[in-house]
């Protein structure tokens, strides 16, 4: 039974040099935008997220470390192995922060960092329409007797 893939362009792989396989097969590639830009929400504020990202990537193993090149109140751009960019941006949302991380080669490290952030809990929703003020009064007063 063949596995059905539904996303991404078809790529032809030649399998002649693989043991136990011959001919060619077709696979679907993951779109690069899916793995290069990752997003999550957290209960931390934006400054704390950017500080955590800076610390996280500065203390990584040699080839996975990255250091601040540019920074602002809502973003940090870091440079890693071979000049690879690692960029984080933050946007405040009610009760937390939306965090976006982007890199071409450091996608796994970004995913690991984002998984270390505290979980976002959405604030409770406000009622859409308040109850009418006269409806509460109408329930409290008895109906007048018919004359």
Decide the pairing of beta strands 37-42 and 66-71: unpaired
- Residue 143: its pLDDT value, please? 61
pLDDT over 70, % of the chain: 65
Question: Per the CATH hierarchy, to which homologous superfamily does domain 35-116 belong?
Answer: START domain (3.30.530.20)
Mean pLDDT (the chain) is 77
Segment 100-107 shows an average pLDDT of 92
Query: Which residue ranges make up each domain of the chain?
Result: 35-116
DSSP codes joined into one string, 66-103: EEEEEE-SSEEEEEEGGG-EEEEEEEEETTEEEEEEE-
pTM recorded for the entire structure: 0.63
Using the predicted structure, report yes or no on whether residue 3 has a pLDDT greater than 60: no
- Residue 137: its pLDDT value, please? 58
- pLDDT tens-place string over residues 31-84: 555 568 999 999 999 999 999 999 999 998 878 899 999 999 999 999 998 889
Using the predicted structure, report yes or no on whether residue 112 has a pLDDT greater than 60: yes
């Amino acid at each position: 039974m063949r596995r059905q893939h539904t996303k991404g362009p078809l790529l032809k792989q030649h399998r002649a040099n693989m043991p136990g396989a011959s001919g060619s097969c077709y696979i679907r590639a993951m779109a690069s935008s899916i793995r290069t830009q990752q997003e999550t929400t957290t209960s931390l504020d934006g400054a704390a997220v950017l500080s955590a990202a800076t610390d996280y990537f500065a203390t990584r193993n040699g080839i996975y470390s990255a250091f601040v090149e540019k920074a602002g109140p809502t973003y940090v751009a870091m440079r890693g192995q071979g000049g690879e960019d690692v960029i984080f941006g933050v946007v405040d949302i009610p009760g937390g922060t939306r965090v976006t991380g982007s890199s071409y080669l450091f996608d796994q490290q970004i995913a690991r960092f984002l998984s270390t952030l505290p979980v976002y809990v959405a604030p409770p929703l406000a009622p859409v329409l308040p109850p009418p003020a006269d409806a509460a009064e109408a329930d409290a007063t008895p109906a007048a007797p018919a004359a």
